[in-house]
Chains A and B, each alone.
Chain A
């Protein structure tokens, strides 16, 4: 067996490399293999350390093989990808040290099996919950003309992103397999999804009541009976709720996005001209 010396570098430096490179993973997102080049880019420092001597034909072949391996289809939330990068790097190092210790196909198998759950959990946390809350708050402040709105939205977005990426990279590299089993056995995924689901839905419920603000200027015959007052006494913000419900039904019916936008704009002009909504 060929002697293979892996160049060493401090563990913290490696983790920061996974950190920054997982954030850059979408830089060449494409239809064919999506984040494939992004994933390879994340592992480039590791692979270059594993196979430093390109003049050795055996090492060169191994290096090409490894580069090719990580050009495979990949798609996952950037923040949680740090975990997959860390875990892949530790597996690549193990394989480079001793080719008999690991079947290299298992690296891509691991990547493929992690993509689904980690992007599910990552997207519902970052896109479905954090983004919704951050920008729900941000918009309500921005509507009052406060610059604090966008600033607050960014602060709420950045803090969890930094923390999760860093710990994901660290956990993935230092013993991803063990943590993974722990995570799955403790139904951690279900718990996070459940909490995100409740918080997200309640926040959206609050937004329906506070951000739409549609009212009706209509009155009964002599103008003494204001319909909006009647509606408010039954349930404030009833019209926004009804509008959201109607749009939800249209989306569920499978009406195309383009048509829905047309319906919103034309419908708005008609309802406004008829004096039904304001």
Chain B
């Protein structure tokens, strides 16, 4: 039981580190399921499991981005808790995914509660400014904001890992094969969902061809995502200079600019 307590604290601290990435480090992306789950694997001594759960949860969360006030299901919290369960109980990455999702929804709700509580800090800061207590005002941000956001991750992770491991272990042992196989397929569909969600934010009119090009390069030619990205950067830079008239394009445009009626395709019939 002591080791469970220690594990719960360690995993909780991993969660705090990930959360503070977006709070204090401008979201350098430590707050991503892949990183959180891998760190959990490191502190619990099972890196491979952490990586596997991290990769699976990361794929689902690809499309989940906090835009404005809408808080998506918190797959970072889900990934951290799921990785802890997988490491502590020996469950597979697919099984862990089913733990990740309810935890992510719970995290979403907690996120809403905490972000509402912080509204009050804002009003306390307003009052402090009126009284000339400037330090009190900005400490609402840098001290109390940090504390509240840390608790928002530490508490649920600690409780889930400390109390939940035995329960989850028992449930995992009862899962029949058809469920395990089904969850394996489900994790693939979830990945498709994550990518589709990403696409809803990215596809603009006339840009779908690039999606198809990227897919075709990888599926027919067997290129890796790295290779596709490199081709994409080169292609995008070429197209940009054509579209916006940089470089040689600009030279041509300015040559044409000397005579506003100049049209290289125009026939010289009237001469």
Task: Say if the beta carbon of B214 comes within 8 Å of chain A.
Answer: yes
Within 8 A of A (CB), among B144-162: 144-146, 149
Task: Say if the beta carbon of A29 comes within 8 Å of chain B.
Answer: yes
Contact A214 B188 (CB under 8 A): yes
Task: Say if the beta carbon of B163 comes within 8 Å of chain A.
Answer: no
Among listed B8-16, B164-172, B232-240, B259-267, interface-contacting one: B232-240
Residue among B115, B142, B223 making CB contact with A27, cutoff 8 Å: B142
Cβ proximity bits B187-230 to A, threshold 8 Å, 1 near / 0 not: 11111110111111111100110111111111110011111110
Task: Say if the beta carbon of A109 comes within 8 Å of chain B.
Answer: no
Task: Say if the beta carbon of B257 comes within 8 Å of chain A.
Answer: no
Most chain A CB within 10 A, of B22, B134, B212, is at B134
Smallest Cβ distance from B188 to chain A, in angstroms? 4
| CB-CB under 8 A for A206 and B28, given A28-B122, A269-B182, A272-B182 | no
Contact A261 B195 (CB under 8 A): no
Among listed A4-12, A218-226, A246-254, interface-contacting one: A246-254
> A139: which B residues are within 8 A, CB to CB?
34, 55, 58-59
Binding site secondary structure of chain B: helix
| CB-CB under 8 A for A157 and B29, given A31-B115, A150-B38, A271-B185 | yes
Within 8 A of B (CB), among A204-223: 204-214
Smallest Cβ distance from A68 to chain B, in angstroms? 6
Task: Say if the beta carbon of B110 comes within 8 Å of chain A.
Answer: no
> A138: which B residues are within 8 A, CB to CB?
34, 58
> B239: which A residues are within 8 A, CB to CB?
194, 198
Task: Say if the beta carbon of B186 comes within 8 Å of chain A.
Answer: yes
> A208: which B residues are within 8 A, CB to CB?
192, 195, 211, 214-215, 218
> A157: which B residues are within 8 A, CB to CB?
28-29
Contact B197 A203 (CB under 8 A): no
Task: Say if the beta carbon of A171 comes within 8 Å of chain B.
Answer: no
A248 to B198 alpha-carbon distance, docked (Å): 9
Contact A149 B137 (CB under 8 A): no
A168 to B73 alpha-carbon distance, docked (Å): 31
Among listed A17-25, A91-99, A100-108, A177-185, interface-contacting one: A17-25
Contact B138 A41 (CB under 8 A): yes
A248 to B211 alpha-carbon distance, docked (Å): 13
A198 to B231 alpha-carbon distance, docked (Å): 10
Q: Considering only CB atoms and an 8 Å cut-off, how many residues of chain B contact the other chain?
A: 108
Contact B26 A206 (CB under 8 A): no
Smallest Cβ distance from A83 to chain B, in angstroms? 13
Binding site secondary structure of chain A: helix
> A87: which B residues are within 8 A, CB to CB?
none
> B125: which A residues are within 8 A, CB to CB?
37, 40, 71
> B1: which A residues are within 8 A, CB to CB?
none
Contact B185 A205 (CB under 8 A): no
Smallest Cβ distance from A243 to chain B, in angstroms? 4
A36 to B203 alpha-carbon distance, docked (Å): 32
The 23 sampled A-B contact pairs (Cβ below 8 Å) are A27-B146, A27-B149, A28-B145, A30-B115, A31-B115, A34-B69, A41-B142, A64-B132, A78-B27, A140-B225, A142-B38, A147-B51, A150-B38, A199-B232, A203-B225, A206-B215, A211-B195, A214-B189, A235-B220, A241-B215, A248-B200, A258-B105, A268-B190
Binding site for A on B (CB under 8 A): 22-30, 32, 34-35, 38, 47-48, 51-52, 54-55, 58-59, 62, 65, 67-69, 72-73, 98, 101, 105, 115-119, 121-122, 125-126, 129-130, 132, 134, 137-138, 140-142, 144-146, 149, 178-179, 181-193, 195-204, 207-208, 210-220, 223-229, 231-233, 235-237, 239-240, 243-244
